[in-house]
Structure 1
Amino acid sequence: MLLHQLEIFTQVAEKNSFSKAAQSLFLSQSTVSTHISNLEHYFGQKLFDRLGKEIVLTPFGEKLYPWAREILNVKDRALWEMKGWTAKIDGHLHIAASSVPAKYAIPTLLAKFLGEYKGIQFVLNQSGSEIVAAKLLNGDAEIGVLGKQYHEDQLTFIPFLQEKLVLITPSSIHLNNHISITELVDYPFVFRKSDSGTQANVVQMLHTSGITLSDLQVVGYCDNLEALKESVREGIGISIISGIAALDYVKSRQINAYELAELPEKRMFYFAHHKKRTLSPWAETFIHFCLESAGLVSNQYASLPD
């Protein structure tokens, strides 16, 4: 019973909410409250304080949390080892990823990972980079994959995959491969939405070269990569996107891809998790697996312009 109460306690602590913890555990909120009350009675200490609408750990709760999380992870590791690598393991991976890794990197790696580690179930949510970071902070995801670092005081970032950004144009436009950023002002431009990690990288790159968005002929914004690639394919404008994301349209000759002379050679994607959250053994294993297998993704776009 105490182990179950510690599991409930960690869920409330990580989500800062009794109702969210109840939803994730498929329990009623009253049941969660009862278990927390019983745990407080067991220790003779209050575990949570309510500050307005927020639930926060008391000093005693802060001390208990890392021990509770470690106890639960030891339990998970024991089950993991005892059931064996090829036996059915009741593990769950909840991954939040920005659009490029969610579409073009994680599925490739998940397919191989799930083939080796049977019985793991996963949830993969695609969101903007800022929302991915928010999901990690509020406990709605255990692992994040994104192209920009946010809330570094609360999140741990692990470099995962390097890729390059490329300039894409309609197939009817032919440019020198190493075009200068200053030449972009001559063409209509289509951008990603503002919470995109790629968009943030592009804006920073332009700023470094002394160019602002107001200097460009911006004709529109798209909230996803497919809409943006289709807009470029139809001749609406040019854009700068992930090389991985451009690959399918480039190979089918629907768009052209070019390297920008001033563009940084590589862009980094990161795994991220909450600093206060000890990862489950299957989450740790998945991250290590991906770090060792990132070449599976990199090799897919080796044919893009260098």
Structure 2
Amino acid sequence: MLLHQLLAFTKVAELKSFSKAAENLYLSQSTISTHISNLEAYFEQKLFDRLGKEVVLTSAGETLYPIAKEILTLQDKAHWELKKSKNKIDGELKIAASTVPAQYIAPKILAQFAQQYPWVKVNLALNDSYHVAERLGKGDADVGILGYQYLAEKLDYLPLLEEKLVLITPPSFDLPAPVSIKEIARYPLLFRKRGSGTQATLERILLDAQIDLSQLNVIGYFDNVQVIKQCVKEGLGFSVISEVAATDYVQQKWINAYELIELSEKRTFYLAFNKSRTLSPLVQEFINFCQKTTTGNRNPGSSEQSNKEGYSLMG
């Protein structure tokens, strides 16, 4: 019972809220309150103070917190080691992924991981890169896969894969290579919404190239790269998206893809996790697995690999 109380205590301390801790642990708020009351009675000290809408640790709570985390980590480690000895590793992984990784990178990684750890359940949430980082910061996900380093003061980022951004056009367009963003400024452009790692990377590169967004003919912002690809296929306009996301439509000859002079540098997809959270053995195993399976791999949509499959950049 003490372990349940310590878990409730650490969640309240991290989220600074009884109600948020209850939601996170799938318990009622009254159960959380009872756990904290019993813990305070056990130690004969008050562990939390209320400051407005938030609860904060007392000095006694500050002392207990790292010890409680260590106890819970040891519990996880004991559970993990015993499961390994029986060759039956299980548990739940809460993963948050931005649009491109969720659709084009995570499925392959998760399929390979499931072959090795078939009893592990995966909960995959799809958000833009900013909201993936936000979920990690709040403790709503164990690990994230995203294309931009948001909230870097709160999160640790590990490089996972590299790739490029490319210009995509309807199949009827044949542009002379190499293509510059300035040359396509007059064409209608479809961009990702703010919060997208693709859009953040694009805007940073445009800034470096001294190109203002107001100079471009942007006719719309979209949540989903799949919708953008379909709109480009139908002739609505041009767009700049991840090369890995463009590959399937280019192979079907539904769109054309071009390298842009200003976008020659590679971008990185990252594994991210909360700096202040102790990683469970399962989460650490997943991170290690991702690094092993992607180390030395080319981007799945890279032009070198894609040429072998009938896909190449125009020009």
The answer to whether 1:160 aligns with 2:168 is no
Number of residue equivalences:
306
Question: How far does the alpha carbon of each residue in 1:174-195 deviate from its partner, in whole angstroms, 9 at most, with x for none?
Answer: 1234212221213111111112
Cα 1:149–1:254, aligned 2, differ >3 Å: closer, same or farther?
same
Give the Cα separation in 2 of the matches to 1:85 and 1:95: 26
Cα distance in 1 between the residues matched to 2:151 and 2:42 = 35
- Residues 134/55 of structure 1: CA separation in 2 closer, same or farther (3 Å cut): farther
Q: Which amino acid in the other structure matches residue 149 of structure 2?
A: Q
**Rounded Cα–Cα distance in structure 1 between residues aligned with 2:7 and 2:298:** 36
RMSD of aligned C-alpha atoms?
A: 1.9
Q: What does residue range 152-191 of structure 1 map to in structure 2 within 5 Å? A: 152-191=152-191
Q: 2-side partners of 1:267 and 1:23: how far apart?
A: 36
Q: Distance in 2 between matches of 1:281 and 1:297?
A: 28
Which residue of 299, 308, 313 maps to 1:305? 313
d(CA) in 1 for partners of 2:231, 2:86: 46
Amino acid in the other structure paired with 1:92:
E
Q: Which residue of 2 aligns with 1:77?
A: 77
- Match of residue 61 from structure 2: 61
Give the alignment of 1:1-306 within 5 angstroms: 1-84=1-84, 87-294=87-294, 298-301=299-302, 302-303=305-306, 304-305=312-313
Using structure 1 for the length normalisation, give the TM-score: 0.93
Q: Is the 8 A contact 2:243 2:301 kept in 1?
A: no
Unaligned runs of 5+ in 2: 307-311
Do the aligned residues in 2 keep the contact of 1:191 with 1:220 (CA within 8 Å)? Answer: yes
What is the CA-CA distance between 1:252 and the residue it aligns to? 0.8
Q: 1:134: how far off? A: 1.4
Alignment partner of 1:178: what SS? coil
Q: Distance in 2 between matches of 1:60 and 1:154?
A: 25
Hey, what's the Cα distance between the residues in 1 that align with 2:204 and 2:300? 27
- Work out whether residues 97 and 125 of structure 2, in 8 Å CA contact, stay in contact via their aligned partners in 1: yes
SS of 1:298's partner is coil
CA deviations 1:45-73 (Å, max 9, x no partner) are 32222222123333433333232222212
- Tell me, yes or no, if the aligned pair for 1:205 and 1:263 is still in contact at 8 Å: yes
User: Gaps (5+ residues) in structure 1?
Assistant: none
Cα distance in 2 for residues equivalent to 1:265 and 1:104 = 20
Residues 172, 197 of structure 1: CA spacing in aligned structure 2 closer, same or farther, 3 A cutoff? Answer: same
Give the equivalent residue in structure 1 for 2:309.
Answer: none
Cα 1:161–1:36 shift into 2, 3 Å: same
> Does the CA contact (< 8 Å) of 2:90 and 2:117 recur in 1?
no
Name the CA distance, whole Å, in 1 between partners of 2:4 and 2:262.
55
Relative to the length of structure 2, the TM-score reads 0.91
Deviation at 1:297, TM superposition (A): 7.3
Identity of aligned residues (%): 54
CA contact (8 A) 2:143 2:271 kept: yes
Change in Cα spacing, 1:183 to 1:78, as seen in structure 2 (3 Å) is same
Taking a change above 3 Å as real, the CA distance of residues 87 and 235 of structure 1, as seen in their structure-2 partners, is same
